[in-house]
A and B are shown apart, each in its own frame.
Chain A
C-alpha cells in the first residue's frame, strides 16, 4: 500500500511540483554563491527528467517512478543481503 502510494506520488503528484528553486538554491542564489555550481551537473536523469522523452510531464513521471523503484530496490537488497551474509558465515562453520 505504501509502495503503491510512493509510485502515485512519484509518477503523478510530482507533476504538480513547483519549479522554483528550493530553499537552499534560493539562499545560494540570493547570496551569490550559486554560480559555483553553474555548470549543469551530470547525471543520468538530471533534473528529474527522463532523457529522450519529449513530453515534459511524461519525462518527469517516468523519472519519478524509476527513482522510486531504485530506492525500493536498493533498500530491499540491503535488507535481504544483511541476512544472507550472516547465514553464509554460519554455513562455513558447519
Chain B
C-alpha cells in the first residue's frame, strides 16, 4: 500500500503533501492540548507597598498531565506495534500478499488524532530508513493510511456503534467493518492518486485496487478485532471506551 515516488506526478505528490502537513499540524496542536493540564503558579514579582495584589497574581502554566505522560508512552508503544505488524505480509492469493495498515486499530486504541501522529511517524521511518514508500509520496501515504485509514476508520466505527461505549457483539462487528472499510477507502484514495498522476485511467486502477484490497481488508478487520480483544482482556485503556471527550476545546 506504500506508494513509491515513481507512481505519483510531482503535482499530485505536492498537493497531498500539503493536505497531510496541514492535518498533521492540526493534530499535533489538538493532541498537545489533550496532554496538557493547566496548573496555577504564583507569579514571582516584587511586592508593592500599597498592596495592589500584583505580587500574588496567579499564572496558568501548562504541564504535561499524568494522563498525558501515559498517553505519550501508549502512543509510542502502539505506533511501534503497528510498525512491526506492518512488516508481516500474509499471502492472500497466488503471488500476492497484504499487510496490516493498522490505522483503524491505532485509532480505536489511541484516539483518531494520536493515531494520525503514530501513522505519520511510522510512514516517515519507513520512507527514510526502509525505502518503503517514497519520500515525495509521503504526503499521499499519510493521507491514505493516516487520514483515510485512521481518522476514517474511527469515524465509521463511531457511526456504526452509534457512539455507544458498550462492549458487545456490535462493538466487535463494528470494529471489523470499520477496519475493512478503512482499507478499501485507502485503496480507493490510492487509485485516485495514481489516476491523477496519469499512470492509469481511474476506473482501471480503481477496479484492480478495490478488488485486491477488499480481500486484504478482511484480514485487516480480523487482526484489528483480535488485537483489540486481547488488549481489552488485559485491561489496556482503550480510548474508544472513554466516556469523556478526548480533545478539550481550548
Contact with A along B48-79 (1 / 0, CB 8 A): 00000000000101111000100111111111
Q: Are A86 and B36 in contact (CB under 8 A)?
A: yes
CA distance A31 to B207 in the complex (A): 11
User: Are A16 and B121 in contact (CB-based, < 8 A)?
Assistant: no
* Interface residue tally on B, bucketed by range: 35 or more
Question: Number of contact residues on A: which range applies?
Answer: 35 or more
Residue in B closest to A71 when the chains form the complex, CB atoms: B83
A contacts with B: majority SS: helix
Q: Which residues of B contact A13 (CB under 8 A)?
A: 84, 88
Tell yes or no: B173 within 8 A of A by CB: no
Q: Please name all residues of chain B whose beta carbon is closer than 8 Å to the beta carbon of A14 when the two chains form the complex.
A: 84, 87-88
- Which residues in B have their C-beta under 8 angstroms from that of A75? 72, 75-76, 79-80, 117-118, 121
On whether the beta carbons of A68 and B84 are closer than 8 Å, the reply is yes
Is B139 interfacial (CB-CB < 8 Å)? no
Given A36-B199, A64-B84, A94-B43: A72 and B79 within 8 A (CB)? yes
Checking A20, A43, A64, A94 against B97 with a beta-carbon cut-off of 8 angstroms, the contacting residue is A20
Known: A2-B236, A24-B1. A64 touches B72 (CB 8 A): no
The docked-state distance in angstroms from the alpha carbon of A31 to that of B87 is: 25
Known: A9-B84, A31-B204, A44-B130. 8 other contacts (CB 8 A): A2-B81, A18-B91, A23-B212, A27-B205, A45-B131, A68-B83, A71-B83, A71-B122
Task: Pull 10 A–B residue pairs with CB atoms less than 8 Å apart, ordered by A.
Answer: A9-B87, A17-B89, A18-B89, A20-B91, A43-B132, A48-B132, A74-B79, A74-B124, A75-B79, A83-B68
